[in-house]
Each structure stands twice: as C-alpha cells, then as structure tokens.
Chain A
Amino acid sequence: MQDRPPSSSSSPIQRLIEAFNRLPGIGPKSAQRLAYYILRAPADEARDLSAALVEVKERVVLCSRCQDITDQDPCRICTDASRDPAVLCVIEEPLDLRAIERTNSFHGRFHVLHGVISPSDGIGPDDLKIAELLVRLNGPDQEVREVIVATNPNLEGEATAMYLARLLGPLGIKVSRLARGLPSGADLEYADDVTLGRALEFRQSVE
C-alpha cells in the first residue's frame, strides 16, 4: 500500500488537492495536477475560479416551475412565449434538458424530476419533484395535453414512467414515452440483442 497523506493536513496546497479530489470523476492524480496548475496560474485566474464557484452557489437556483437550474426565476424556457404550452417533457436531470434542447426537435416546456424511483437507493416518488409537477398541471400549466416521459430506458426509468402514467392518466393528459431502438448510423451486426429485439418489437411501417 502507498502511504496516503493524513486527511487533516493544514497545508493550503494539500487542502486544495483534497477539495478537488472530492469532486466526481477526479482521482488523486488529477486532483494534484489541478492544484499545481492553480498554483502556477496567474492570480486572476484563481480569483475568477473562486468567484465563479461562489456565484454558482449564490445565484443559481431551481426554477420554481420546471425545477431546472437557472439564474432567473422563472427560467428563460418557462417564460418563453414561443414555446408550445400543450406539451411537457419530463426528464431525470438538468443535463438531459440540454441534450433534448440540442436536438432542436422539441418546442414544448420541461419538468426536471431530479432523479428516478429506485427503492434500493432509498428514492421513492416523494423524493422527486413529482408534487411540483402536479401543482403545475393543476394550476399554471393547465393547457398541457401531453406529457412526454423522457426518463432513461432502464428499469428505474421505466418504473418512474409507469408511476407518472398512472398518476397523470386520470387528469385526462396523454402520457407518452420516448421510442426505443437502433441508434442512427448504427450497424445491425453490432447492435446488442436487447436493443435489436426492441427495435423489431416497436418497428414502424414504411410509408
């Protein structure tokens, strides 16, 4: 075993390394590299970074309507009058919103759940932004006719989709799910059995 430095080290560089190391996807080596980069960088760069870190915590909040992260509440998408008020896309995480926006194929509004139902991780419907969704659909967003559930196509995503379908069905709102199948430009030979099976099951007729 390699000797690890004691965690309660008081040296500033050590504290910075440990702070970086706590970030997701940053191991001890990367943390060291980042810390030494900051040490050598001009003082302005360190000040900008620290200001940005503080600002993101102080100024960025959750949009009170769609629960996306935003610096103005309600967020730009929720206040954009050109958006279709009849369609709402429900997603797991803010990053999924960015992915759907990049497609330029969706012109409705969003609702971010901040997670999916997963009892083994201790996450039930009450731990998600589902109550907020109901408030929206019963109040400010009564025009919504269709909710597109765009959770991931895994077990937990499906559980969440079914839960929402049962919850929203009685409100007279159409609930749909993203299609599943082969990625564009893919090679059939390299598709895994499950994906290919789904693509066959949910095939479409050619006009």
Chain B
Amino acid sequence: MHITHLSLAGARSFRRLELPLTPGLHVVTGQNGSGKSNLLEGIALLATTRSLRIANDLELIAWDALRDDPLPAARYAARVHTAVDDNITIEVIVSARPATPGIEANAASRRFRVNGVARRASDLIGRLRVVLFSADDLGIIDGAPTARRRYLDITLSQLDPAYVRALQRYQRVLQQRNSLLRRLQERRGQPGELDFWDEELAQTGAMLITSRAHAIATLNTDAAQRYAALSTGSAPLEVCYRPALPPPLIETVASSTTSLAPKLLEALVVGRTRDIQAGTTRIGPHRDDVAFLIGGHPAGSTASRGELRGIALALRLAEVAFSTARTGDPPVLLLDDVLSELDAGRRARVLAAAFEVDQVIITSPDPDRPAPAELSAASRYRIDAGVLEPIG
C-alpha cells in the first residue's frame, strides 16, 4: 500500500500541508524541531488513531491555532492506495473542547471519517498500515511492560479489526469488573454479580491472548534470524510471550480462542476471592509481558546499547514481514531519524527492507545522510518550521 496524498491542517507544527506522494522512497531533511517527527507521527496517527508520544489529544492541535482560532481543530487526512482498494480517504479530526469561543480549551475530542463518512475509531484502524522505526523503540525492550503491551496492541490492531474490538471491549469490561471487585470488598453486592463480567472478560481476553501468542511466535522466528544477520558475533535473540496467567494455562495460550476462553473463565472464577481481596483483576492480558532474551538472559538488563538497537531493528523488520504476510499488502515504512545512528552494514539491511515495500518515508537531520548514492531513486524534501519543500 502507499499514500497518494497527505493533508495536515492545524496539526502540530503544520499550519497547512498538502503533499502529493508517489510510491517509492521519500527523504525529508531538516533541523531538530523543524517538524520532521511530527510529519511521521501524523501519518502514524492516521494508521492507529492515536499518537504514540502525545497523551493529551489537545497537543495534536497546532499551538498557534489554539491561541488564535475561535474553534481550534486539527485535520489529519490521507488518500491511500491499497491492494484491495485503489482509493480510500481517511481523516482524523481533533477538536478542542469546550468549543466555546473565549473559554480556554482544556481537552480535545477525536472524530473519524472514512471516504467522508463518519466512522468509529475501530473502523478506521488498519485502513492504512504503517511500521514506524524510531529512537523510542529501545523502550519496547528495556522499558516498562506497558510499552511492550502497547507495541503488541498497535501491531495487531492494524492487522485485525476483530483485535481492536476485543481490546476495546476488554478494557471496558475490566474497568467494570475492577469496580465491582472493590464494591464486593466493601460487602456491597453478591459475588454472583461477577458472572457476566467474568464471561465477557474470558471471551475477549482469550481472543487477545491467542492473537498475541501467535504473533509473538511468528515474530520470534523471524526476528531471531534478522538479529543474527544484524549483530554478527552476538548470542542468539529469543522473543518470548509471558502471559499473566496461572502456570497450567500458559501451556495452552497457542491453542484457539474457543478452547482457551472456558479455561480462562475457570481461572477467573477460581481467583475471585483473591481478586476481591486485592480489589483488582490479577490475571489476564492487561498484565502480559514479552521477554527479549539474548543468549537466555533478559536483554533489558544485560544487553549493550548496540545489541538493544539491533533487537529493536530486527523486531521492526520482522513486523514489516509479518504485516505483509498477514495481509498480502506491504505496510508503509516510516523511518524517524534512525539511519544516521547505524553503521553501514546495518543501514544496508534496513534499506534492503525498504525496497520490499511500496513506500518509505525517511527523516534525517543531515541532508547528506542517507547519502544520495545509497538512495539515488529517492524524492527529497527540506522541512523548516512546518513548511515542506521538494529539493531538486
């Protein structure tokens, strides 16, 4: 797939950007703070409906629009060409709230449109698929478990609408169940009231767990091979799923959702008393983790900086192959200032992956890197203060 047109209005550093794009390689150079990362973040937002780095949606709106406009809003839009659909328009519109002129906005709401029709977020996710390589990727390996769960959710959501729906439902059911556990702790209500929430949690949770187990099994094989090629001499890489389940259940996570759900339900029912004491649900995909092992040791605490970077690259490259294999249509690659830090060998391997997809957008602070010799076919742009201009 590839983006044929990108349009950003009032979006972060972009007051107005209309960018026609062709398949192939695009290199955007500009100094730090010029809006390079915001450009790739904007594209990633259209794929996932959420920003990776920005927690408050209000910050998705350009700050001068917030200051000057009577009704500040940002519009992120792209026309996408895919293997099945030759022309889809996707839009994310972020509006400041409250929308009362003269009263300072303190929150924002997001709306979504596909081909001009208002849709839910879950209907937009996956229309455009991206794999974003960035310096923040190291956090997946040495950061908190939340970062690894978010990595899995972003990767799988783009590939499977059913995963998005299960995830959204799981989170709502979990919130209700935890509230009920605290009520029961205070002896307000009967444990039987948990029946509905336990069944729903088991159904949606089993779907998330089996999806994650299958994805990690595939990524593990591929990432291990790519890591061996990227980091010659290092001990082998292993990516292991660590589901937050009682030990006998862990063996069955690679089975089907329909066979896991009743076992998960049983485990939830058995654990009720302790869940009530704890006031929270102690098992389930909201507590999952992924282990990255180098020669059997946790990479987060033992690997060198160079090894960590190699793992992150291998993981992203495996993700590109996984996304292509699952859908038959390669994702758009976004490389946010990752090439300049790599040695020539690793750079060549990343660029080799770039030639296997339809479209790649690369940002770099250095106009000479990646060198024109490495990427002779690339379209080049210069970016300054949110204004993008083609070079040559």
Contact of A119 with B by CB under 8 A: yes
Across the interface, which residues of A come within 8 angstroms of B274, CB to CB?
Answer: none
**Closest Cβ neighbor of B102 among chain A residues:** A2
Across the interface, which residues of B come within 8 angstroms of A118, CB to CB?
Answer: 176
One of A29, A155, A194 near B172 (C-beta < 8 A) = A155
**Closest Cβ neighbor of A4 among chain B residues:** B103
Contact assessment for B197 and A159 in the assembled complex, using a CB-CB cutoff below 8 Å: yes
Contact assessment for B193 and A163 in the assembled complex, using a CB-CB cutoff below 8 Å: yes
Contact of B294 with A by CB under 8 A: no
A117 touching B122 in the complex, CB below 8 Å, given contacts A124-B183, A155-B200: no
Contact of B165 with A by CB under 8 A: yes
Across the interface, which residues of B come within 8 angstroms of A29, CB to CB?
Answer: 100
A192 touching B102 in the complex, CB below 8 Å, given contacts A120-B179, A124-B189, A159-B196: no
Across the interface, which residues of B come within 8 angstroms of A119, CB to CB?
Answer: 176-177, 179-180, 183, 193, 197
Interface of A, secondary structure class, is helix
Contact of A166 with B by CB under 8 A: yes
Contact of A1 with B by CB under 8 A: yes
Give the distance to chain B from A98, nearest Cβ to Cβ, in Å: 27
Contact assessment for A158 and B176 in the assembled complex, using a CB-CB cutoff below 8 Å: no
A-B contact count (CB 8 A): 59
Across the interface, which residues of A come within 8 angstroms of B123, CB to CB?
Answer: 192-193
Q: Could you tell me the distance between the alpha carbons of A28 and B270 in the complex, rounded to whole angstroms?
A: 52
Across the interface, which residues of A come within 8 angstroms of B102, CB to CB?
Answer: 2
Chain A interface size, under 10 / 10 to 19 / 20 to 34 / 35 or more:
20 to 34
A1 touching B189 in the complex, CB below 8 Å, given contacts A119-B180, A162-B196: no
Across the interface, which residues of A come within 8 angstroms of B169, CB to CB?
Answer: 155
**Closest Cβ neighbor of B119 among chain A residues:** A192
Across the interface, which residues of A come within 8 angstroms of B122, CB to CB?
Answer: 193-194
Contact assessment for A1 and B195 in the assembled complex, using a CB-CB cutoff below 8 Å: no
**Closest Cβ neighbor of A3 among chain B residues:** B102
Q: Could you tell me the distance between the alpha carbons of A28 and B195 in the complex, rounded to whole angstroms?
A: 44
**Closest Cβ neighbor of B175 among chain A residues:** A120
Across the interface, which residues of A come within 8 angstroms of B183, CB to CB?
Answer: 119, 122, 124
Instruction: Please provide the chain B residues from 189 to 205 with a CB less than 8 Å away from any CB of chain A in the complex.
Output: 189, 192-193, 195-197, 200
Give the distance to chain A from B25, nearest Cβ to Cβ, in Å: 34
Q: Could you tell me the distance between the alpha carbons of A192 and B100 in the complex, rounded to whole angstroms?
A: 31
Contact of B69 with A by CB under 8 A: no
Contact of B161 with A by CB under 8 A: yes
Across the interface, which residues of A come within 8 angstroms of B173, CB to CB?
Answer: 155
Contact of A27 with B by CB under 8 A: yes
Contact of B188 with A by CB under 8 A: yes
Contact assessment for A163 and B103 in the assembled complex, using a CB-CB cutoff below 8 Å: no
Instruction: Please provide the chain B residues from 21 to 71 with a CB less than 8 Å away from any CB of chain A in the complex.
Output: none
Contact with B along A63-84 (1 / 0, CB 8 A): 0000000000000000000000
Contact of B120 with A by CB under 8 A: yes
Contact with A along B150-189 (1 / 0, CB 8 A): 0000000000010001000100110111111001000011
Across the interface, which residues of A come within 8 angstroms of B193, CB to CB?
Answer: 117, 119, 124-125, 163
Contact of A126 with B by CB under 8 A: yes
A158 touching B103 in the complex, CB below 8 Å, given contacts A120-B176, A124-B183: no
Contact with A along B122-163 (1 / 0, CB 8 A): 110000000000000000000000000000000000000100
Across the interface, which residues of B come within 8 angstroms of A166, CB to CB?
Answer: 192, 195
Contact assessment for A1 and B104 in the assembled complex, using a CB-CB cutoff below 8 Å: yes
Contact assessment for B176 and A155 in the assembled complex, using a CB-CB cutoff below 8 Å: yes
Across the interface, which residues of A come within 8 angstroms of B373, CB to CB?
Answer: none
A158 touching B196 in the complex, CB below 8 Å, given contacts A27-B100, A120-B176: yes
**Closest Cβ neighbor of B98 among chain A residues:** A27
Give the distance to chain A from B129, nearest Cβ to Cβ, in Å: 17
| Cβ contacts A to B, 11 pairs, < 8 Å | A118-B176, A119-B179, A119-B180, A120-B176, A125-B193, A126-B189, A156-B176, A158-B200, A159-B196, A162-B195, A166-B192
Name A residues whose Cβ lies closer than 8 Å to a Cβ of B: 1-2, 27-29, 117-120, 122, 124-126, 155-156, 158-159, 162-163, 166, 190, 192-194
Name B residues whose Cβ lies closer than 8 Å to a Cβ of A: 100, 102-104, 117, 119-120, 122-123, 161, 165, 169, 172-173, 175-180, 183, 188-189, 192-193, 195-197, 200
Besides the known contacts A126-B188, A126-B189, 15 further A-B residue pairs in the complex with CB atoms under 8 A apart: A1-B104, A2-B102, A27-B100, A124-B180, A124-B188, A155-B200, A158-B196, A159-B176, A162-B195, A162-B196, A163-B196, A190-B117, A192-B120, A193-B161, A194-B122
